[in-house]
Amino acid sequence: MKRKIIKQGHNTLTVTLPSNWVKNLNIQPGHEIEMIEKENGLFLTTQKNNYLKRAEFDITDLDIPTIWKYFMAVYREGYDEVLIKFKPGTSLKNPYKFLTMHRLDPKYQKEDERTVLSGIQRFVDRFIGYEVIEHGKDFVLVKDMAELTNREFDSSLRRVFLLIQQMCEETLEAIKTGNLEGLIHIHDVDINLDKFHDYCIRVLNKTSNRESRKNSLYFSTLYLLELLGDEFKNISTHLIHDFPKTNFKNIKKPVELVKDQFDNLYLLFYKFNKETVKKIAEIDKEIYFSVPEIYKKANEHEKEIFHHLRIISRFINALMELRIEMEY
């Protein structure tokens, strides 16, 4: 049905409600209705939009990686309360070692057994807003205690960019100086990146008040940013554990180029500019045409790191394409 917009007063626009809808719901002057923004429209209801999405699952006989997948699914999908069931007497291995690249974190290589409550608490600590509010001999109840807003999405997305920028800077510094100490804690940076990434996904799924097409672009952007962060974590693992004494003189320039490329992507994302697009494309060409020379001079260890750098560069180009789509 169509309704004509009516101007009322200086700055107010009004629209009439369908008479059948008003009669069926017995809406009277002075009553309040709830207006919920949905994609590119509004949804009107007489019910408050404060219902809780509840989920439950049983972790008995599940290993830690599988429990992790359950947690990630209900969190990203926007569930407000989660009931975790288990058989009394169940114990869990330390969940933390499965949530990080534990080769970079010697504190968590020990697979100690712990109670389900202690184990679930480690999972919950990984997700922004989730808290354990009740527990018993065969259950743990988790609830979202945070308020989701578009403002929180914007600040969390920016945080993802800044954390990747930090990983890039620390990687460049390690390769240029040979000092690898700064990379030992890069798993902590990556965990924070993943936390903000999942929070952004959760906000998008719960609020759904952006245009549907824009939502798809944001989901793809977040997915690529997480993969990009993982590549820096992979580089750190190689540098620390696989070939720590290698001199990476032949790939210092490509690392600088990748850093410059990501810095320009960050600028482009928050201030779209054709010149920045051109700059990212020029850097991409410089990296691409340096391949024969790099492979001619580099040793096997340098080639492996350079391979990861090229993957990062491809991710950056894909992210640039998504940003251009957002603009139109």
* Per-domain residue ranges of the chain: 6-45, 54-144, 150-327
Band the pLDDT of 112: cuts 50, 70, 90.
low
Q: How big is the CA angle at 84 (ends 157 and 58), to the nearest 5 degrees? A: 115
Q: What is the pLDDT of residue 40?
A: 58
Domain 150-327: state its class. mainly alpha
| Rounded Cα distance, 74 and 52, in Å | 13
pLDDT at residue 99 greater than cutoff 50:
yes
Topology of the domain comprising 54-144: Translation Initiation Factor IF3 (3.30.110)
Tokens of 88: 């009394």
Show the 3-state SS of 6-26: EEECCCEEECCCCHHHHHHCC
Q: Which of 94-98, 145-149, 278-282 has the highest mean pLDDT?
A: 278-282
The predicted-structure confidence for 3-12, as pLDDT tens digits, reads as follows 888 888 777 8
Band the pLDDT of 101: cuts 50, 70, 90.
very low
The predicted-structure confidence for 295-312, as pLDDT tens digits, reads as follows 999 999 999 999 999 999
Mean pLDDT of the region 246-257: 90
Smallest CA-to-CA distance from 234 within 141, 143, 101 is with: 101
The predicted-structure confidence for 194-230, as pLDDT tens digits, reads as follows 999 999 999 988 876 555 678 899 999 999 999 999 9
